[in-house]
A = this chain, B = another copy of it.
């Protein structure tokens, strides 16, 4: 009997773990690391605090799992979208599009990354423990473009700060600029307009003079 029940119990455990991660992502996004409480995560999932601790020993471990999942998912999503692109500009555009679409569809991730840039706290000694994959992705594309002469010499980090980061503001600012300026980042017309601007900026940033 044990051999039959074991997989079911395992599946239940996985579902609980997944539900905890989803609730935690929402709460870390809304409240920030410092103000987020395991009790609130437990309540959102409909379990008791000790059930969280069974899966994640503490707030730091839970936060780490959330941030790790965000960047692993974003990396996988971007890898699929850039794989078919042969030239440097196509790869860069596909990467920026992938990040934009990923963040629009997962605004809690955008808010957590936005916080990560302001916060020294949660990632302490290694701020890029999980975001390293995203930075390495854009660095590889920019380096290949510069090396082949398709791009002018440009620091990848300047491109991250000046162009790629805009997707975070676009997603986070929908309700943060006052009622008269409110917009829905997922609205298709709004998104198409912003995407066209990002493409225009990316070309301007890397095109040799």
Contacts and interface: CB of A to CB of B under 8 A. Distances in A.
B183 A157 contact: yes
B155 A193 contact: yes
B176 A169 contact: no
B118 A162 contact: no
A203 B205 CA distance: 11
A200 B152 CA distance: 13
Contact of A118 (B32, B193, B197, B200): B32
Interface stretch (A40-48, A63-71, A77-85, A125-133): A125-133
A162 B194 contact: yes
Interface string A93-119: 000000000000000000100111111
Interface string A165-209: 110011011011110010100000000011001101101110000
B176 A127 contact: yes
A201 B205 contact: yes
Contacts of A5: none
Interface residues of A, number: 49
A34 interface: yes
A162 B205 contact: no
Nearest to A201: B201
Which of A120, A163, A177, A198 neighbours the largest number of chain B CB atoms within 10 Å of its CB?
A177
A93 to B, nearest CB: 14
Nearest to A180: B128
B111 A178 contact: no
Nearest to A203: B204
Contacts of A165: 165-166, 169
